[in-house]
A = this chain, B = another copy of it.
Amino acid sequence: MAPKNAFYAQSGGVTAVINASAAGVIETARKNSDRIGTVLAGRNGITGALKEDLIDTAHEDDDTIRALTHTPGGAFGSCRYKLRNIDENRREYERLIEVFRAHDIGYFFYNGGGDSQDTAYKVSQMAERMGYPISCIGVPKTVDNDLPFTDCCPGFGSVAKYIATSTLEASLDVQSMCDSSTKVFILEVMGRHAGWIAAAGGLAGKEPGSAPHVIIFPEHPFEREAFLAKVDQSVKDHGFCVVVASEGAQYDDGRFLSEAGPRDVFGHAQLGGVAPTLANMVKQSLGYKNHWAVADYLQRSARHIASQTDLEQAYAVGEAAVNYALEGRNGIMPVIKRDSSSPYRWHISEAPLNEVANQEKKMPIHYTTDDGFGITTDCREYLEPLIQGEAYPPYENGLPKVARLKNHLVEKRLKEPFTP
């Protein structure tokens, strides 16, 4: 009997290293070709399975799969698509199983955050009810670092390294010029619900008084007066002030700063932007010349400055997912367990999908300073190991070399099309 094929899909916001997890899955499957057939990847995530748009990774040679380890973005396409509950839309789950059956898929690897792990869990339940044997394993990924059970989420360490490095570099720039030019610099970073990425900006400055001087976390209600006082004090003490602000910064009443911000000439609410909102506030209340940056996708795609630690972990969870599947496991997700911080030692363990799906890892309150504008030593001790090592990609003609996949679709076997 030919070995069962595997299905792999990428879900949600992509990262600098999600393709390294893909490489972990595919390379490990290839090493076990006696027990796993072809890895079929969903084109654009789970919608690829629903539409029967399956990419045949067997068309990619070993070098191309290896090149995934240094290619940012989602090589097979990702999606923002959440499957509803089984009761609400049973048809979608049935369709998945039909597609899996048609392509002889016995392994389901879903690479994503909390919602994706919820989906993977439901697929495993549905398959059981329908009597279809499949091993459903989650592969963790999220720059937001909000999955439970795991020391960190693959993807986060590289964003953290990018933000810490950029904060350090820009701080040196601002410091050089503050005597006669810009005095306040504001860097907006991702993290709508949790301040993990903003906290990483804090790694740039270890000594008292060093930049960044102010961090705005979504966990602490934004107080305009306290913020302005802190900025003013920093300019008076150091000549300049560097602010790292989470896009999720919000007022006490839950309004996001980005929503409370500027309007265009027609009075329409302007598209987000915590940084310009804060910059305006500083300009109008304190009068300091300021500059602002919004890193946006640059931060989560910055493979050129990826953390070696993050890269290794991203690969390891992909590899472990396949190994768990080969052991006949189902309904679990590989996680990272920290053995020690200094030196950083970790190993792969597992967490049950049904429990992963319903929890969000918040930043502990003791990770931020009492005034809510900085990180503590505990936070630093947690974060520092995650940005260790520089995983440089190869370059060609001055630019990072990336994998160019054929992304060849397998022939459809089901008669009915399906529109998710």
Contact = CB atoms under 8 A, between A and B. Distances in A.
Contacts of A44: 179-180
Contact of A177 (B14, B164, B166, B177): B14
Interface in A289-319: 290-298, 300-305, 307
Contacts of A304: 165, 169, 305
A296 B203 CA distance: 21
Interface stretch (A117-125, A226-234, A386-394): A386-394
A180 B302 contact: no
What copy number does this chain have within its complex?
A: 2
Contacts of A176: 10, 14, 73-75, 77-78
A246 interface: no
A273 B271 contact: no
Interface stretch (A134-142, A370-378, A396-404): A396-404
B166 A302 contact: yes
A297 B171 CA distance: 9
Given A168-B399, A276-B270, A298 B297 contact: no
Interface string A131-174: 00000000000000000000000000000010011101111111
Given A165-B400, A263-B264, A170 B47 contact: no
B297 A170 contact: yes
A261 interface: yes
A72 interface: yes
A81 interface: yes
A164 B268 CA distance: 33
Given A177-B78, A270-B276, A294 B297 contact: no
A347 interface: no
A221 interface: no
A280 B268 contact: yes
B268 A284 contact: yes
A164 B295 contact: no
A399 B203 CA distance: 9
Contact of A305 (B265, B300, B305): B305
B402 A398 contact: no
Contacts of A276: 270-271, 273, 276
B172 A301 contact: yes
A321 to B, nearest CB: 20
A265 B268 contact: no
A384 interface: yes
Interface in A161-220: 161, 164-166, 168-177, 179-181, 185, 187, 203-204
B271 A283 contact: yes
Name, among A261, A276, A284, the residue most crowded by chain B CB atoms within 10 Å (CB to CB): A276
A262 interface: yes
Nearest to A273: B276
A204 B168 CA distance: 26
B264 A177 contact: no
28 contacts: A14-B173, A14-B177, A16-B169, A73-B172, A74-B173, A74-B176, A77-B176, A77-B177, A79-B179, A80-B177, A81-B180, A166-B302, A168-B402, A169-B298, A169-B400, A173-B297, A185-B296, A203-B399, A262-B270, A263-B263, A270-B280, A291-B296, A292-B294, A292-B296, A293-B296, A293-B297, A304-B305, A388-B398
Given A168-B400, A173-B301, A262-B270, 15 more contacts: A13-B177, A14-B173, A14-B177, A79-B180, A79-B181, A166-B298, A170-B298, A263-B263, A263-B265, A264-B280, A268-B280, A270-B280, A271-B283, A291-B296, A293-B295
Report the 3 A-B pairs with minimum CB-CB distance, sorted nearest first: A73-B172, A74-B176, A387-B398
Interface of A: 10, 13-14, 16, 44-45, 47, 71-75, 77-81, 161, 164-166, 168-177, 179-181, 185, 187, 203-204, 261-265, 268, 270-271, 273, 275-276, 279-280, 283-284, 290-298, 300-305, 307, 384, 387-390, 392, 395, 397-400, 402
